[in-house]
Structure 1
């Protein structure tokens, strides 16, 4: 009985770790044209797919506003287009952030800073 419990515990931890890694994944592509269709304006190279209630989305908005970064803020719960794009980008959670040629899944302050710095 104890062995079964420990096996299930290990499997749960491994599953959770894999999910955590996927949610904090940063994907880089060769050039920003890979995400060009998702940028609403040629001058704005940051798109945030999020929700109103998401705390990490709020942290992302705060960071971008503090840095003076222009961004498109899309709510995947109120916009069908945003929901489709989020799914097409492999979104499984929020926030999902496009920054130039970077795709960030989840909020990671260091990754977001590096991606924003690469725009300058």
Structure 2
């Protein structure tokens, strides 16, 4: 019986570890090497994420960006009125809301954080 319990615990832990790894994985069609190269090319001012302190999706997006080495600037509307004003100027209505300024192009992520959309916007 003890062995069965140990096996079940090991399977649960492996499943959690797999989900954690999967959550930080690059989008389909992008190698980890390409992700590292892309992340190294991004400056913090090129990616601005508008968040609120209580936003769970914001925490997930920040975790994904950080775990993949992407620099970004967080603008937390819960603590900075300027962020709220900027957010409203974009006519945004949900968080996380990302503004990506790369080269001469600007991309607004209006539908929340999506890894494929994010990588495509950075690639131009």
If the length of structure 1 is used for normalisation, what is the TM-score? 0.57
| 2:116 alignment partner in structure 1 | 110
Aligned to 1:66: 67
Shift of 1:43: 5.8
Provide the aligned C-alpha RMSD in A.
1.8
Are the counterparts in 1 of residues 50 and 76 from structure 2 also a CA contact under 8 Å? yes
CA shift digits 1:55-86 (9 cap, x unpaired): 11111101211221111111112111000000
Q: Rg bigger for which structure?
A: 2
Q: Identify which of structures 1 and 2 has the higher relative contact order when contacts are C-alpha pairs closer than 8 Å and 6+ apart.
A: 1
Flag structure 2 segments of 5+ consecutive residues without an equivalent. Answer: 1-42
| CA contact 2:44–2:73 (8 Å) conserved in 1 | no
After TM superposition, the runs of 4+ consecutive aligned structure 1 residues lying more than 6 A away are: none
Deviates more, 1:100-109 or 1:90-99: 100-109
Residue ranges of structure 1 left out of the alignment (5+ in a row):
1-41
